[in-house]
Structure 1
């Protein structure tokens, strides 16, 4: 994650359009094999209601 730090926008003035959605992601790997389970939730930025 340290390699993406320079690309993170920390000043909202750099965002040209209003933010509509935000997402949360997670992945869990199963020990002992090559399987994983991933999940993503998309929220409406204003209401924090789940949209997908």
Structure 2
């Protein structure tokens, strides 16, 4: 899924021209939503360790 790096929050310019990243459906629907609602999300680096 294409995910907006910076949440657009209804801003048409950010929606169409903002930076995108690729996320699987699971992370887009769970982790990203948690993060946008102010909850803590643990991120892991390529080496598997939390960052």
Q: Same fold (TM over 0.5)?
A: no
TM-score scaled by length of structure 1 = 0.27
The structure in which a higher percent of residues are helix is 2
Greater fraction of residues in strand = 1
